Amino acid sequence: MFLVRLVYTSTISENFDHNDITDILETAREQNKKNNVTGLLCFNRKLFLQCLEGSRTDVNQTYHRILNDPRHSDIIMLDYREISEREFDTWSMGYIPESSLSAPVNLKYSGTPDFSPYDMSGESAHKLLFALKDTVPTES
């Protein structure tokens, strides 16, 4: 059962209520603990950028549930690859809020100082998440 990493981006849909992020994180953490999926979710109140790590089966099943979720749309997979180890293993789903995104960090990994994951390569999107991981609180 080897490991894979999947990174995707998406946009909130018209059904999205801003309190939904709390529900999304709660469900994600509960489900991911059961499925041994780990990762990070970055959200700037309009766009999501998420990384999922785990076995190929678990990550694919999780991504399929996420794809069918009406709270977001325009879901684009940015990167999918086999990995030898997890990088976000201490989070069932760590959260990176808008306040952690700064113009310098956006500019480092994309062409503009704005958070623009649709314009990022899979590698840059992953590196942005990796660069921000030290800002993410440990889960209890």
The residues binding ligand FAD (CB under 6 A) are 15, 20, 23-24, 27-28, 31-32, 41, 48, 50, 52, 62, 65-66, 68-72, 93
Cβ closest to ligand FAD, residue 23 vs residue 107: 23
The label of the residue with tokens 């690859």 reads 81
Between CA 110 and CA 116 the distance in angstroms is 7
Name the minimum Å distance from CB 41 to ligand FAD.
Answer: 6
Between CA 120 and CA 33 the distance in angstroms is 29
Cβ closest to ligand FAD, residue 107 vs residue 139: 139
Pairing of strands 94-96, 72-83: unpaired
Spatial strand order in the sheet of 47-55 = 72-83, 3-12, 47-55, 38-43, 94-96
Cβ closest to ligand FAD, residue 14 vs residue 104: 14
Cβ closest to ligand FAD, residue 65 vs residue 81: 65
Secondary structure class of 129 (helix, strand, coil): helix
Name the minimum Å distance from CB 28 to ligand FAD.
Answer: 3
Name the minimum Å distance from CB 104 to ligand FAD.
Answer: 25
Secondary structure class of 58 (helix, strand, coil): helix
Name the minimum Å distance from CB 39 to ligand FAD.
Answer: 6
Residues contacting 24, CB < 8 A, separation 6+: 41, 71
Cβ closest to ligand FAD, residue 74 vs residue 114: 74
Name the minimum Å distance from CB 100 to ligand FAD.
Answer: 17
